[in-house]
Amino acid sequence: MTTIRESPALPLDPTPEFLADLKRHSERLEQAEPAEIVRWAAETFGSRLTMATAFGPEGCVILYLLSQIAPKTHVFNLDTGYQFAETLAVRDRIAEKYGIEVELRRPDHTVEEYEARHGGPLYETNPDQCCHDNKIAVLHKAVVGKHAWMSGIRRDQSVHRAQAPIVGWDAKFSLVKISPLANWTKKDVWGLILKEGIPYNPLHDQGYPSVGCWPCTKRVLAGESDERAGRWSGSAKTECGLHTLEQDGSGI
Ligand code: SF4
């Protein structure tokens, strides 16, 4: 039987016993504070733990926690070529304040090559393909050799995220997925940011509650309560695909 305590060198095998083990840990950590969850993840997976961040407020909170608990944890950003300058500047401020160098992982193509290949910006005509090529395919490469990844998703962000366990099996990327902030609210996140002076993206003070690539991120109008309303505004798309379930329902 494979248990997560063994942290094998080979890719994990999601046997029924392994998945039951994950579920037990998830249930045990359900009442834990994010710091305890991050500590468990770092102690359990060591150098095989990674974290993806787009430098949203939740990601900045986890980076702060990592700086206190496991500052050598590998962290990466999917640098699509379409990020705001303000977003990339947060990376520098995090490095300066906490000494954590977030690795920028890029697609094999430049923006110019990609748009030339598709006769223009694909985010205008086929954003799902654009997200796949510039985010999902890049993440698949970024996690080679890793066994677990952490993300900053919160259950109250959207219906897609409402079922996220603290610890679960991510079939899309064949990794254990840990969501230390799943139980936190937006108020919890901002409370810690302001209390500890954690760097954050200044666009959040300019009407952007959620920040992604600039072509697909709009200011949210007063009265729009969905904090992800500014992402792919005007289309049915609400997620880039990193945090959605597989067709068989076995995702996060
Ligand atoms: S968010 Fe927009 S620009 Fe960024 S990868 Fe997805 S479709 Fe492309």
Instruction: Measure the CA–CA gap between 204 and 181, rounded to whole angstroms.
Output: 19
Paired tokens of 243: 């945090």
Query: Is 123 touching ligand 1 by the criterion CB < 6 Å?
Result: yes
Q: Which atom from ligand 1 is nearest to the alpha carbon of 123?
A: 7
141, 170 Cβ separation under 8 angstroms = no
pLDDT value at residue 237: 62
What is the share, in percent, of the chain residues with pLDDT greater than 70?
83
Of 220, 189, 204, the residue nearest 60 (C-alpha): 189
pTM, entire model: 0.87
Q: Is 216 a catalytic residue?
A: no
Give the residue extent of every domain in the chain. Answer: 4-205
**144: Cα within 13 Å, side-chain hemisphere:** 6
pLDDT value at residue 210: 87
Tens digits of residue pLDDT in 5-16: 545 555 577 899
β-bridge mates for residue 50, sequence order: 74, 149
**Terminal-to-terminal C-alpha distance of the chain:** 22
pLDDT value at residue 243: 65
- With vertex at residue 178, the alpha carbon angle to CA 196 and CA 127, rounded to the nearest 5 degrees, is 95
Residues sharing a CB contact under 8 Å with residue 75, sequence separation 6 or more, in sequence order:
50, 51, 52, 53, 63, 66, 100, 102, 103
| pLDDT, mean of residues 225-230 | 61
- Residue matched to tokens 């579920």: 23
pLDDT value at residue 7: 54
Q: Give the lowest-confidence range in 94-103, 177-186, 203-212.
A: 203-212
Question: Phi, psi (5° rounding) for residue 232?
Answer: 50, 40
Cα(135) to centroid of ligand 1, in Å? Answer: 8
Q: Given CATH 3.40.50.460, say whether it is the number of domain 4-205.
A: no
* Residue owning the nearest CA to atom 4 of ligand 1: 213
Residue 86 has pLDDT above 70, yes or no: yes
